[in-house]
Structure 1
Amino acid sequence: MNILIVGGGGREHAIGKKLLEDNNHFTNLYFYPGNGGTGIIGKNIDGKKTLLELGFFAKKNLIDITIVGSEIFLIEGIVDVFHNFGLKIIGPHCLAAKLEGDRIFAKSFMKKYGIRTPKYNIFSSYQEAIDFLDQCTFSVAIKTNGIAAGKGVILARNKNEAKEALETIMVKKKFGKSGDKVLIEEFLQGKEASIISIFNKKQIFPFLSALDYKKIGENETGMNTGGMGAIVPNPYMTNSIWIDFQKNILEPTLEGLISEKLTFFGFLYFGLMITLNKVYLLEYNTRIGDPEAQTLFPLMKNNFLDVIQSFFVHKKVSLSWKNLCSCCVVLSSKGYPEKYKNGQIIKGLDSLQEPFYIAGAKKEKGKWVTSGGRVINIVGIGNTISEARRKAYDKVKKIQFIDSFFRKDIGLYYN
C-alpha cells in the first residue's frame, strides 16, 4: 500500500514506524513535509506544496490512504480537497475540524449537548475582557479562539497576570488572528488527562488514557508547549472517572456529532480535567495527540493499518493493548517554545535503542543536527510507570547536543 502521512513531527514519525512494524513488506510511506527520521523510513516530499498540489501528488502516486497528523492541514481543509479528488483520507472535513480550530464553536457545541465543561465567557474587545476581570475570583485560563501550536492557553493566577495575558494575545497579537477573540475560562484544580479515540462516523472507540505534560518547566510551570512528555496509562483515570467520562462527555459528544452532521473517519482527542469526583472536557482535537501518539503506539497490539482500514468497511474496532506502561520524554532545544538555535550536532542518536522518534532533527553530511524546538521523543517501556520512567531517562543520558533541554519530572510523582 502507498500511504501519505501529513505533518513533520515526532507524531508522524511514530505513525510511520507503527505502520512499518505491522506491515513492513507491504507499505510504502510518503511524508509531507516530514523530518530527518521520516526520511529514513519513507520518502519526504520536497518543496512547499498547496493542498491542491498535495492532492495531485496523491493521485499521481496512487496513494491508497492519507493520514493527517498536523492540525494545521485539517483546519485549512485538506480532507475536503482530497475528497474532491476521490481519495481516501483520515481526518475531519473542514466544518468538523472547527471543533479543534475554533474554541468558540467547540464550546457552543459542548453547551448545546450538555457536555460537562468549565464555565467561560467570550470577548472580541480587549477593553471588555479587561473590565470582566473585575468580576473574577482568580485563577482563570485565558485562551485564544484559534489554534496556536498548543501554546494558546495562559493560566493567570491574579489580575496582573490576566491583564498581561490579554495584552499578549489581543494587543501584541503574539498568536496572530487566533487571538482576535479570547475565552476567559473558569480554572479548575485537578489533574489533566488525554483520551485519543477513533471515530468511524457511527461510534467512538477510545484508546488508553494518557497524561500529557504541557508546560516547559517542572511542576507544570512556565509557558505552554506542544508537549514535553507523557505517560500511559494515566494513573488518575480511575474506573469511576472513566464511567463519568463516558456518560457526561463521550456519549453526548457522539450524539452531537451525528445530530450536527459532523461525522468523519478519523481521530478525536478529548482533553480532560479530573477534579475530586468529576471529569470536565477542556478541548477537542480532531487528530492524534503529540506526544501522546509516541507514548501509546509502543503499547498497541493491533495492526494499525487494519484499524485504519476498518473505517472504510464500517467494521467495528476492537482495540487491544499490552499490559505495560510507557513514558515519553521530549528532548528540546534550549529556548523552546520561543527562540532557539538550530544546527547543533546530536551525538548518540544512531545507537539509541527503540522506541524513539525524531521530531526536529535531520542528517547533514552524515551527522544528525537539530532542526526544531522539540528534537527527539525518547520512550521507556516497563511494568510500572516508575520502571518505564527509569528506562526513558537512562536513554536520555545517551543523547548529547549543545543547548539540549528536557523536563526531569515526567512520571516522577506517579511511582
Structure 2
Amino acid sequence: MNVLVIGKGGREHALVQKLSESPMVDELYAAPGNAGITEATCVDIVETDIDGLIALVHSKDIGMTIVGPEAPLELGIADRFHEAGLKVFAPTQKAALLEGSKSYAKAFMQRHEIPSAAYATFSDPEAAKDYIQAQGVPIVVKADGLAAGKGVVVAETTEEAIEAVDDMLVNKRFADAGATVVIEEFMEGKEFSLMAFVNGKDVYPMITARDHKRAYNQDKGPNTGGMGGYAPVPDVSAEDLTFSYEHILQKTADGLIAEGRSFTGVLYAGLMMTQEGPKVIEFNTRFGDPETQIILPLMKNDLLQVFEDVLAGKDPELEWEDQASVGVVLAANGYPEAYKKGMPIPQINGNVYTAYAGVAGTDEQLVANGGRVLLVGAKNDTAPEAAKTVYQALKQIDNNTDYFYRTDIGL
C-alpha cells in the first residue's frame, strides 16, 4: 500500500520512520515533509492545500493518509477525504473542535463530568482582568483557538496575567485564535500525556509520556511547543491510569458520539496529576509533538497495521518494549521568541535516533528553518540511562552557539 503522512515537523518524521519499517508499505510520501526526512518522498504541497493533497492521493494511488498537524483538521480535511472516498486516519472537523476551541472543550468536559480545572471565558479584556483580580494568582490564561502550542501563559503574578490578556485580546498576538480567552485555575501537580487510537466508542491507549513545555531547565522560561520528554512515566500509578482510561478517554469518546461528533484518529489528553487525581489540562485531536517521537520507538506493532485495525473496528493489540525512551529537542537560540534561520545543522553521532523538524537544505547540508530544529532520542532500560546516552551525544555540539537544549530531561 502507498501511504501519505501530512505535515512537516518532528512528529511527522517519527511517523514516517515508524511506517517505513512496515512490510505493508510500498511507497511512502510526506507532504510537505522536510529536508531531513529521507525515508519518504517529500512532495511540496502545504498541509492546508486540501485540493492539492486529494489530487496527490489520486495521482499516487495512496491507500492511507495520516494527518499530523492541527491546521488541516480544523479546515475539515477528513470530511473532504471521506467525500472523495479516500481512507484517512484523522477526526472530522466537528470532532476536531475539541482541540480547535478551548472554550468548547471546557464546556464539553463540564457537560460530561470529565475532571478539569475551574474556568471562565472572556472576549472583553476588562472583564477578564476583573476576574483575575478576584481569583488571585497563580492563574492560567489561554488563547481559545489554535496557537501552535504558544497560546498558554501560566502567570505567577497579577501583572503577568493582565499582560497575557492584553497580548491576546487587545494586541491580537494570535489573531482570531486569541479573540476569546479561557482563564483557568492553576492546578498543582505533575503533568503527563496520554494518547489513544480512537474509532467511535473504541479506545486503545498508548503508553504515558511526560513532555517539558518550558524553554529552560527546571521548567523555567516561556512555554514552547515542547523541549523534549520521556516515556513511560513511572510516577503514574496503575490506579490513576485506569481512572484516566475510564473517566477521561472513554468518557470523551462517548461524549463526542452523544454530541454527534464521533471521533476517529488519535486523541491526546494533556493531564495533571493533582491531589484529587488526574485532571485534563487540554485535549489535542492528533499525535502530540514531541511525545510521538518518544513513544513510537517503543511500539512493537506495525503502525500501518494499527491504523488499519482501528479503522476496521478491530483491537490492534498494542505491544510495547519493556524499555524507556528519552528525547531532547535542539532549538535555535532565541526560541520561542525571535530566532535566526539558515545555520548549519550539526552532525550528532552516537547510539541515538534523530527526528528532524525545522530544517531545510539538501542531504549534503541541512540548515535550520524553524525554532525547534530536531529531537535526539535514545532507548534504554530506564529513562536516566537513556538520557545519559542522549546527553553524551549532544556534548559534541556544546561549543555551538547557534543552538540550545535543556540538560535536565529524563534525569
TM-score (norm 1): 0.95
2:181 counterpart letter in structure 1: V
- Please give the residue correspondences for 1:30-41 in structure 2 after superposition, counting only pairs within 5 Å: 30-38=29-37, 40-41=38-39
Gap runs ≥5 in structure 1: none
2:199 counterpart letter in structure 1: N
8 A Cα contact 1:344 1:402, kept in partner: no
Greater Cα shift, 303-312 or 322-331 = 303-312
Cα distance in 1 for partners of 2:244, 2:138 equals 24
Deviation at 1:83, TM superposition (A): 1.3
1:366 counterpart letter in structure 2: E
8 A Cα contact 1:170 1:179, kept in partner: yes
User: Are 1:299 and 2:288 counterparts?
Assistant: no
Cα distance in 2 for partners of 1:242, 1:254 equals 17
Q: What does residue 261 of structure 1 align with?
A: 260
Relative distance call for 1:365 and 1:28 in structure 2 (3 A) is closer
Deviation at 1:82, TM superposition (A): 1.2
Q: What does residue 371 of structure 1 align with?
A: 369
Tell me which stretches of 4 or more aligned residues in structure 1 moved more than 6 Å: none
Deviation at 1:322, TM superposition (A): 0.4
Q: What does residue 100 of structure 2 align with?
A: 101
- Please give the residue correspondences for 1:215-294 in structure 2 after superposition, counting only pairs within 5 Å: 215-294=214-293
Give secondary structure in 2 for the equivalent of 1:138: coil
Deviation at 1:399, TM superposition (A): 4.4
Give secondary structure in 2 for the equivalent of 1:395: helix
- Please give the residue correspondences for 1:104-143 in structure 2 after superposition, counting only pairs within 5 Å: 104-143=103-142
Deviation at 1:402, TM superposition (A): 4.2
Cα distance in 1 for partners of 2:181, 2:322 equals 42
Cα distance in 1 for partners of 2:291, 2:10 equals 10
Q: CA RMSD in A?
A: 1.6
Q: What does residue 9 of structure 1 align with?
A: 9
- Please give the residue correspondences for 1:350-369 in structure 2 after superposition, counting only pairs within 5 Å: 351=349, 353-364=351-362, 366-369=364-367
Q: What does residue 29 of structure 1 align with?
A: 28
Relative distance call for 1:181 and 1:398 in structure 2 (3 A) is same
Relative distance call for 1:132 and 1:264 in structure 2 (3 A) is closer
1:137 counterpart letter in structure 2: G
Deviation at 1:72, TM superposition (A): 1.0
TM-score (norm 2): 0.96
8 A Cα contact 2:103 2:144, kept in partner: yes
Q: Deviations over 1:46-75 (max 9, x none)?
A: 255621121122112211111000011111
Q: What does residue 201 of structure 2 align with?
A: 202
- Please give the residue correspondences for 1:325-340 in structure 2 after superposition, counting only pairs within 5 Å: 325-340=324-339
Give secondary structure in 2 for the equivalent of 1:97: helix
8 A Cα contact 1:144 1:182, kept in partner: yes
8 A Cα contact 2:377 2:390, kept in partner: yes
8 A Cα contact 1:59 1:85, kept in partner: no
Relative distance call for 1:26 and 1:411 in structure 2 (3 A) is closer
What is the total number of aligned residue pairs between the two structures? Answer: 409
Cα distance in 2 for partners of 1:399, 1:8 equals 25
Relative distance call for 1:89 and 1:26 in structure 2 (3 A) is closer
8 A Cα contact 1:236 1:274, kept in partner: no
Identity percentage of aligned residues: 39
Greater Cα shift, 271-280 or 177-186 = 271-280
Relative distance call for 1:399 and 1:2 in structure 2 (3 A) is farther
1:309 counterpart letter in structure 2: E
Gap runs ≥5 in structure 2: none
- Please give the residue correspondences for 1:310-321 in structure 2 after superposition, counting only pairs within 5 Å: 310-321=309-320
1:333 counterpart letter in structure 2: A
Relative distance call for 1:83 and 1:233 in structure 2 (3 A) is same
